[in-house]
Copies of this chain bind each other. A is one copy, B any other.
Amino acid sequence: MDKVNLEEKFGKFQDHWHPRIVGELNGQQVKLAKFKGDFIWHKHEEEDEMFFVVKGTFTMQFRDKTVEVKENEFLIVPKGVEHRPSAKEEVQVMLFEPATTLHTGNQKSELSRDQLEFI
């Protein structure tokens, strides 16, 4: 029951596309990640995923549209929907998703991280 300060946690890592776990509730995890550049196209068959922008801006590409998500905005990507996040400049994102979610979804990639740390 200690609070979590996002700035402090974001200061603990520098690499991109590598989420860290900062909280757990009701079988869901709260993760922090820094995005920069292009991620891969992927989807999550069984899991909805939420992206909340703490600092900066990123774009989420869907097959039929692109959404720009800015600071203090969030986007929920429903299960089964292909998506691809990109960021021209580094962006700090807080993610909410089930504890079972792999961030590259149905795609195995060099960007995949199977074991995420709790920081």
Contacts and interface: CB of A to CB of B under 8 A. Distances in A.
Given A30-B74, A54-B72, A96-B96, A25 B48 contact: yes
B26 A72 contact: no
A2 interface: yes
A3 B75 contact: yes
Interface residues of A, number: 35
A37 interface: no
A78 interface: yes
A116 interface: no
A42 to B, nearest CB: 15
B74 A3 contact: yes
A5 B54 contact: no
Contact of A28 (B5, B26, B74, B77): B26
Nearest to A22: B74
Q: Please name the 8 residue pairs, one residue from A and one from B, whose CB atoms are nearest each other, closest first.
A: A25-B48, A3-B75, A6-B72, A5-B73, A3-B73, A26-B48, A3-B69, A25-B76
